[in-house]
Amino acid sequence: MERQSARVQAAGAYGADTSPGGCAVLYVSGNTDVCGPDRCRQALLRIGVNMMALPGGRHLDSIPLPGQRLHLMQVDSVQRWMEDLKLMTECECMCVLQAKPISLEEDAQGDLILAGGPGPGDPLQLLLKRGWVISTELRRIGQKLAQDRWARVHSMSVRLTCHARSMVSEYSAVSRNSSQEMSQIEKLLMEKCSELSAVTERCLQVENEHVLKSMKACVSETLSTLGEHFGQLLELALTREVQALVRKIDASDNIYTTESTTGNLFSLTQEGAPLCRIIAKEGGVVALFKVCRQDTFRCLYPQALRTLASICCVEEGVHQLEKVDGVLCLADILTDDSHSEATRAEAAAVVAQVTSPHLPFTQHLSSFLESMEEIVTALVKLCQEASSGEVFLLASAALANITFFDTMACEMLLQLNAIRILLEACSDKQRVDTPYTRDQIVTILANMSVLEQCASDVIQENGVQLIMGMLSEKPRSGTPAEVAACERVQQKAAVTLARLSRDPAVAREAVRLSCMSRLIELCRSPSERNSSDAVLVACLAALRRLAGVCPEGLQDSDFQQLVQPRLVDSFLLCSNMEESFV
C-alpha cells in the first residue's frame, strides 16, 4: 500500500490531487489516447488522479465540468501505473518526474488516513475515528477557503464527501436500524457535501474576482451548514451507542461484562466534554453509582469512580450526581475502612472534581454540606495514611477544593490537626514529591491562614521554614504545566506568609529565617519568579506586611522602592526590570 501511495503521489506531481483509498478514479477530459511518447506530456497533464474509493467498490460520481465531457473509469492504481510506465519512457518526462517535488502543498503530507480502520462490529471506534477525520477536514477546508486556495478547497471537499459517505455506509453496516431522524440528517449531510463539491468545482472555472468573492460567501455558508448537519448526525449516533452501553451496565450482573462496558464508557469520557454531557444525559452517572452500591462489584469501584470523576467535569454530570445522592455514596466509601486505598483515592478524586472552584456549577451542591464533616475527616485520614504520592495528591486536592467550597471546612481542618499532618507529609518524599502536591498543601494553608488560631499551629510545627522553602520552588523538567505549578506554589506561599504575619510571632520568625531577603529577590529578579506578575504582587504584599513588623530587616533602597511607594508603583518598577547577563 505504501508503494501504491508513493506512486499515486508521484502521478499527483502533474497537478493531480491524491487522497486515501484503494483504487483510483480517473477523470478523463476529451480524447486522451496515448499512442506514443510524443503525446505523453499532453496526456499526463490532462489526466487527474483522485483516490476516492469507498468500501465495497462504490465510488463518488463525478461532477461534470461546463463544456466538458467526463468519463469515469475505475482501475487498480498499481496496475494502471505499471501499464502507463511502458509509455512514459521519454527522457524529458522521466527527468521531470524524478526532479519535481511530490507536492507543492505544504500540508499534502497531512492528508488524513484512517490507520488500520476500526475493527469489525465496533461502531463507537468507527464514529470516533471518522468523526475526528471529518472534523479535521472541515477545519482545513475553512483555512484554505480563507486563503482563497480554490484548487485545494475543491480537492478537500471531494475527499470530505468520501469520508462522510464512508462513515454513513460503514455505520449503517454495523449498527441497528437507523431512526427516521438519523436517516433524514444523513440525507441532508450528503446533499450538502455534493453541493459543496459542485460549487467549489465551479469556482475553479471563475476568474472574475468579484464573482469569486460572492461565491466564497456561498461556499462558507454551505460549509457551515454541512458542519451543523455533521455535528447533529454524530451526536445522534454517539447517543445511540452510549444508550446501549448504559443499558448494558444497568442490566448486567456479570462482573466481566460490567468491567468491559465501564472501561468503554471511561474511554468515551476521555474524548472531551461533549461526550461527557451525552453520557450524563443518557443515565451514565445513575448506572455507575448503581455499580458502586453493589458489594458484588467491589473490585470495579475504582474504575467506576474514575469514570464518574471524568463525567463530572460537566454541569450535567454534577446535577445527575446530586439527584442520585452521589455525595452520600462517596461519603460512605470514604469512611468505610474495609474499602481498598485505591477505591477511597478514586472517591476522593470525584470529591475533588465536584468541588472544583474553577467550575461555577459546583458551588450549588447543597447535599455536600450535609456530609462535609464526614468527608473532610476521611480525607485527612487518607492523607495521613497514604502509601503513595498519587493517593496523597488526590486526597489533598479534594481538601484544597473543599476549603474554597465552604469556610467551615477550614475550622474543621484546624480541629483535626490537619496543619500538623500536612506539614509532616512535606518531609516525606514518598507522599510529597512534586510541585503539584505542594500546590495543594499550600492552598490549604493559605485558606486556613485567615483563621487567627492557625498561626500558633504553624509556628509549633515549624511551618514558617517550610513556607520559606516553597518560596524557592523550582521546576525539575521545565514543562509548562510544572512551571505553572511552581508559580502557584510561590504565589500561595507568599499569600500564606502575608496572612500569617498578622501575628508578630510569625513575622519575627519569618525575618529570622531570612524570608525578607528571599521576597526581595523574587521581586527584583524576574527569572526567580519566571516573570510571573501574580508572584510579584503576592511577594510585594508579604514584604510590606513583614516590613510593618520588622522594618530594620530592610535596606534603605529596598524600603524606598518596594515598601514606601504605592503597591502599583512598586509593581511597575519591578515588572519593568531587565536583568543584565554581562
Judgement on whether residues 202 and 259 belong to the same structural domain of the protein: no
Mean pLDDT of 302-307: 96
Is residue 408 situated within a structural domain? yes
pLDDT category, 84, cuts 50, 70, 90? low
Predicted TM-score (pTM) of this structure:
0.74
What CATH number corresponds to the domain at position 386? 1.25.10.10
Is residue 177 situated within a structural domain? yes
What CATH number corresponds to the domain at position 155? 1.20.120
Query: Which whole-number Å values give the CA distances from 242 to 237, 249, 377, in the listed order?
Result: 9, 11, 36
Judgement on whether residues 306 and 159 belong to the same structural domain of the protein: no
Judgement on whether residues 220 and 350 belong to the same structural domain of the protein: no
Q: Determine the pLDDT at residue 269.
A: 93
Q: Determine the pLDDT at residue 54.
A: 29
Residue 366 has a CB neighbour count (10 Å cut-off) of 8
Judgement on whether residues 376 and 454 belong to the same structural domain of the protein: yes
Judgement on whether residues 272 and 379 belong to the same structural domain of the protein: yes
Which of 454, 471, 490 is the C-terminal boundary of a domain? Answer: 490
Among the listed residues 335, 337, 412, the one whose alpha carbon sits nearest the alpha carbon of residue 369: 412
CA atoms within 13 A on the CB side of 42: 11
φ, ψ for residue 112 (rounded to 5)?
-90, 130
Among the listed residues 549, 525, 553, 555, the one whose alpha carbon sits nearest the alpha carbon of residue 539: 525
156 is written with which cell numbers?
478537500
Is residue 501 situated within a structural domain? no
Which residue's entry shows cell 449531510?
Answer: 189
Residues 43-74 have pLDDT tens digits of 333 323 232 232 333 333 333 333 333 333 44
Judgement on whether residues 309 and 212 belong to the same structural domain of the protein: no
Query: Which whole-number Å values give the CA distances from 574 to 541, 559, 569, in the listed order?
Result: 13, 13, 9
Range of the domain at 364: 251-490
Q: Determine the pLDDT at residue 366.
A: 76
**Using CA atoms, how far apart are residues 457 and 426, in angstroms rounded to an integer?**
15
Tell me the three state secondary structure of residue 114. coil
Judgement on whether residues 259 and 355 belong to the same structural domain of the protein: yes
Judgement on whether residues 368 and 437 belong to the same structural domain of the protein: yes
Q: Determine the pLDDT at residue 558.
A: 81
Is residue 389 situated within a structural domain? yes
Give the DSSP per-residue string, 165-234. Answer: HHHHHHHHHHSSPPPHHHHHHHHHHHHHHHHHHHHHHHHHT---HHHHHHHHHHHHHHHHHHHHHHHHHH
Residues 456-499 have pLDDT tens digits of 889 888 899 999 999 999 988 889 999 999 999 999 999 999 99
Judgement on whether residues 258 and 224 belong to the same structural domain of the protein: no
Domain count, the chain: 2
φ, ψ for residue 59 (rounded to 5)?
-135, 155
Is residue 214 situated within a structural domain? yes
Which of 183, 205, 235 is the C-terminal boundary of a domain? Answer: 235
Judgement on whether residues 196 and 276 belong to the same structural domain of the protein: no
Which of 451, 473, 490 is the C-terminal boundary of a domain? Answer: 490
Q: Is the pLDDT of residue 388 over 90?
A: yes
Is residue 266 situated within a structural domain? yes
Instruction: Report helix angle 180-204 to 209-251, nearest 10.
Output: 160
Q: Which residue has the higher pLDDT, 27 or 407?
A: 407
Judgement on whether residues 417 and 283 belong to the same structural domain of the protein: yes
Judgement on whether residues 190 and 303 belong to the same structural domain of the protein: no
Mean pLDDT of 190-196: 91
Is residue 356 situated within a structural domain? yes
Specify the length of the chain in residues.
582
- How are beta strands 70-75 and 47-50 bridged, if at all? unpaired
Is residue 431 situated within a structural domain? yes
Residues 237-269 have pLDDT tens digits of 999 999 999 999 999 999 999 999 999 999 999
